[in-house]
Structure 1
Amino acid sequence: MCEAKKRIVFVVDDTPANLRLLYDILHQADYHVRVYPNGKLMLQAMERVQPDLILLDIMMPDMNGYEVCEILRRRYNPNIPVIFLSALTESYDKVRAFEVGGQDYITKPIHPEEVLLRLNAQLKHVNERERFSYNLEEKDKQLHEYQEGLVKTLLRLSGLRDNDTGNHIERVQALATSLAELLLTESSAQVNPMFVEAIRLAAPLHDVGKISVPDSILLKQGRLTEEEWQLMKEHVRVGGEVLGELHRQFPENPFTQMAMDIALYHHERWDGQGYVHGLSEEAIPLAARIVSIVDVYDALRTMRPYKPAYSHVETLKIMGQMEGAFDPHLFNLFLNHDLLFSTVFDSIYEAGQVERNAQTPFTI
C-alpha cells in the first residue's frame, strides 16, 4: 500500500477569527487546509476536490451546518467524516448533528488539543476504511487473475481437440459479451457490470465438456449416428461436473455459478425441447439463454463436416425458423442489433484466418 498521503481538511465557519485559529492549528499539524466562510462555497468546492474530513460550524447565515451536512450526504459523499463546531450546548443540538450525518461534535470555545485529538480519531477510521478497501481490491485482483488463468488452462485443454475450437470459443465469448452489454443498457434487473464480466469469463467454457468426447465422434467427417449423437450430448453433463466441482470450492463466486450454468444448459430450448434436462423458458439461466443464441449463430456461420458456412442473412433466416428455440426477448434484441453481431463475428473470424495462414508449416 502506498505511503500515507497528506490529508485534506475543509473548515467552514462564518467567523474569520475561528477560520484563522483553525487554519493555524491544522496547518501546524501538517494538514492541507482549506477554509470557507459559508456552506455554499464549500459545497461548490466539492465539485473540484474531495476532502478527507470537514470541520463544520452550525450557526451560519443563509444555510446552517445541519443543512450543509444533509446536502453533502445526499449529493456528494456519504462517507466523509464531519465534525460539528458550535457554541450550542443543548442535547437537542448535538442529537440533531448526529441525525444529519455528523461523526463528532466539538463545543466552542475551540481548544487546539481537543480539535486535533478528535480529528485524528476520525482520520484513523478513514485510514482503516481505506486499508480495508485496498486489501479487498487486492483480493479481487488476485481472484480475477486466478479466474483468467483457470479459463485459459481449460481452454487450452479443450483446444487441443479441434483446430477451430479456439477461434469458435473466442467468437462465442465476444458475441455473448456483446449481447449481455446490450441487456445492461436496457437496465435489465438481472444484468449489472459484474454479470457482463462473469459471462465474458464463463462463455468460453460452454463446451469444455467435449474433452470427454472421443475423437472419432468429435472430429468425424459427416453426420453422427444416433448412438454417437447421444454420446455427444453428454458433453453438457461432463462440463457441468467439471465446473460444478469448481463452484463447490467457490460457492459465492458469480463466475463459477455462471460457468456451470452455461455448460449445463446452453443446449436447452425456450420451449423445453432441448437437451439434456428439458428446461423451458426462464427456468433456463439467463447466461445459458444468451450463449444458446450466439452459439447457434456461430455454428451456422462456420463450415462443419456436415454443412457449409452460411452468410449472416441466411443464418438469421434459419434461426428465425427455429420456432421455440430461443428466449423471444433476447432473440429480438439480437435481431435488432444484428449488424453489431455480424461485425463482431467477421472481425474475429478474419483475424483467426490470418493467424492460421501465418503459421509456419510443421516439418520433420
Structure 2
Amino acid sequence: MVDDTPANLRLLYEILDEAGYKVRVFPNGQLMLHVMGRIRPDVILLDIMMPDMDGYAVCEAVRERFGQQIPIIFLSALTKAYDKVRAFEVGGQDYITKPIHPQEVLLRVGAQLKQVNERERFSSNLAAKETELKEYQESLVKTLLRLSELRDNDTGNHIERVQALATTFAELLIQEPRFQVSPLFVEAIRLASPLHDIGKIAVPDSILLKSGKLSDQEWEFMREHVRLGGAVLQELHHQFPNNYFIYMAMDVALYHHERWDGQGYVHGLVGEAIPLAARIVTIVDVYDALRTSRPYKVAYSHEQALTIMRQMEGAFDPNLFEVFTAHESLMSDTFESVLEVDTQVLILK
C-alpha cells in the first residue's frame, strides 16, 4: 500500500491484516519501487495525490519495470471521470473512491487475487500441455523412425544426418530476413525433417537396396514413396489440424523431391510453390546422399559433392543454395559430427 497520509495507511493496514493478508505500507512511491527490486507484491493499493511522484507516475513505473502481471488498485478522493479514466490508461485494474469502506476494499482485493490465481493456474496448465505435446511429438518421430531403422540401419543414419543438417541450415536462415524463419520453424523442421522418407517403409528391399540401375517400373514404385509418406502424415494432420510440426512434416514428405525448375516429382511444383521446409530438406538430402556410400555409388568428398550440386542447374532454390554454400564449412562440420557418432556406434555394436 502506498499513501502519504499515515491515517489512511493505518486504516488499510488494520482492514487487510485482520483479514489475514501480509501487508507492507509505504509513504511514497519511490520507496515502494526500491523495495520491489527484492519483494514482488501480489496486489498494490495506490493513492493518487502524493507529492514528488503521484500515483499515475508510480503506476507507469511499475508497468515499465515489472510488466502487467501485478494488479494495481487506485484509492483516491478524486471522483471525476477524467481521473478514473487516467487511472486505467496508465495500467490500473480497479479504482476505489475514498472514504474507504472495509468490505469494498476486501471484495476488490479478493477479486484481483482470484484473477491472479486463475492466470497462474492457466499458465501452469498451458506449460504442462506444451511439455506433454512436445514429448508426444518426440515420441511420434522416434517411433516412426524406428520403423525405418528396422528396414535398414543406413537409412536411420541418413535420417539423423538430414535432421542435423536441416536444423543447422534453418538456424542460419533466422539471420536472413527474406526467408522469415522463426525459432518455431527451426524446432518444427528439427522434428519434421527426419520423416521426409517415411514412405520408404513401403518400398520392397529388392528396390530399396538394389545395387544396379532401377528399371522403369521399379523407379516408378520408388517415386511413390513421397505419396505414401504424405498419406501417412496426412492422416495425422486430419486428427491434429492445428499442429504446425505435423503439417510441416507432411509438406516435407510430399515435396522434398520437387525441383525449383518444376522438373521434380511427383507434383511438378515450381519455385516458391514448393514449401520452404521442403526446399531446405531437398538441399541437405542431396548433399548427404552425395557424401555417403550407397549400394549403387561411392561416397564423395565435401568438395566433390558441392561441385556436383552446382552443376544440378534448376534443382535448388538459388537463394537457399547461396546461403548453404556461403556456410559450407559449417554444413560439412555438421555432417562430419553426425557421421563420426554413427561410426562410433557401429564400432561399439
Supply the distance in 2 between the matched residues of 1:101 and 1:319 (Cα, whole angstroms): 58
* Aligned match of 1:99: 89
| Partner SS for 1:144 | helix
Q: Give 1:321's aligned residue.
A: 311
Q: Is the 8 A contact 1:202 1:258 kept in 2?
A: yes
CA gap of 1:303–1:73, structure 2 versus 1, over 3 A, is same
Query: Which structure has more helix as a fraction of its residues?
Result: 2
**Do the aligned partners of residues 177 and 50 (structure 1) sit closer, same or farther apart at CA in structure 2, a change above 3 Å counting?**
farther
Q: What residue in structure 2 maps to residue 352 of structure 1?
A: 342
Matches within 5 A, 1:162-311: 162-187=152-177, 190-311=180-301
Gaps of 5+ in 2: none
The answer on 1:142 being equivalent to 2:132 is yes
How many Å apart are 1:189 and its aligned residue? 6.5
Residue 181 of structure 2 is aligned to residue 158 of structure 1: no
* Partners of 1:134 and 1:140 in 2: CA distance: 10
Q: Is the 8 A contact 1:13 1:60 kept in 2?
A: yes
| 1:316 Cα deviation from its structure 2 partner | 1.9
What does 1:122-141 correspond to in 2, within 5 Å?
A: 122-141=112-131
Partner of 2:95, secondary structure, is: strand
Alignment length (residue pairs):
349
Instruction: Report the 3-state secondary structure (helix = DSSP H, G, I; strand = E; otherwise coil) of the residue aligned with 1:252.
Output: coil
Matched, 1:120 2:129: no
* Equivalent position SS for 1:125: helix
2:73 is aligned with 1:79: no
Q: How far off its partner does 1:186 sit?
A: 3.6
Question: Which 10-residue stretch deviates more, 72-81 or 276-285?
Answer: 72-81
Matched-pair contact (CA < 8 Å) for 1:52–1:81: yes
- Supply the distance in 2 between the matched residues of 1:42 and 1:272 (Cα, whole angstroms): 66
**CA-to-partner distance for each residue in 1:75-116, whole Å, 9 max, x for gaps?**
531232111111212222122222333211112344444323
Residue 148 of structure 2 aligns to a residue in which SS? helix
Identity percentage of aligned residues: 71
- SS state of the match for residue 160, structure 1? helix
**Kept after mapping to 1: 8 A contact 2:75/2:96:** yes
Which of 264-273 and 93-102 deviates more? Answer: 93-102
Measured on the aligned residues, the alpha-carbon RMSD in Å equals 2.3
In 2, the alpha carbon distance for the partners of 1:33 and 1:246 equals 53
Instruction: Confirm or deny: 8 A CA contact 1:180 1:191 kept in the other structure.
Output: yes
Instruction: Give the whole-Å Cα distance in 2 for the aligned partners of 1:280 and 1:227.
Output: 26
What is the TM-score normalised by the length of structure 1? 0.88
Describe the shift of the 1:79–1:316 C-alpha distance in structure 2 as closer, same or farther (beyond 3 A): same
* Structure 1 position 72, deviation (Å): 3.8
> Larger deviation: 37-46 or 270-279?
37-46
Asked if the contact 1:38–1:60 (Cα under 8 Å) also holds between the matched residues in 2, the reply is yes
Shift of 1:142: 1.9
Q: Alignment partner of 1:238: what SS?
A: helix
| Structure 1 unaligned regions, length at least 5 | 1-10, 360-364
Does the CA-based 8 Å contact 2:173-2:179 persist in structure 1? no
Comparing 180-189 with 316-325, greater Cα deviation is found at 180-189
What amino acid does structure 2 have at the position aligned with 1:163? Answer: N
Q: 1:266 to 1:38 in 2, by over 3 A?
A: farther
For residues 32 and 329 of structure 1, the distance between their equivalents in structure 2, rounded to whole angstroms, comes to 61
Q: Distance in 1 between matches of 2:109 and 2:45?
A: 9
Residue range with higher mean Cα deviation, 329-338 or 197-206: 329-338
The C-alpha deviation readout for 1:161-196, integer Å capped at 9, x for no partner, is 112111111111111111122222445664222222
User: How much has 1:15 moved relative to structure 2?
Assistant: 3.6
1:46/1:76 contact within 8 Å kept: no
Q: TM-score, normalised by structure 2?
A: 0.91
Query: 1:56 corresponds to which letter in structure 2?
Result: L
After superposition, the Cα gap between the structure-2 partners of 1:243 and 1:107, relative to the gap in structure 1 and judged at 3 Å, is same
1:51 aligns with 2:41: yes
Inter-partner Cα distance in structure 2 for 1:188 and 1:112: 59
3-state SS of the aligned residue for 2:232?
helix
Separation in structure 2 between the aligned mates of residue 37 and residue 182 of structure 1, nearest angstrom: 53
C-alpha deviations, 1:35-77, integer Å up to 9, x for none? 4444445445555554332222212234322233344445531
> In structure 2, how many angstroms separate the alpha carbons of the residues matched to 1:119 and 1:111?
12
The answer to whether the 8 Å contact 2:210/2:296 transfers is no
- 1:118-161 residue CA offsets vs partner (Å, 9 max, x unmatched): 11110101111111222222222222222111111111111111
Equivalent residue, structure 1, for 2:4: 14
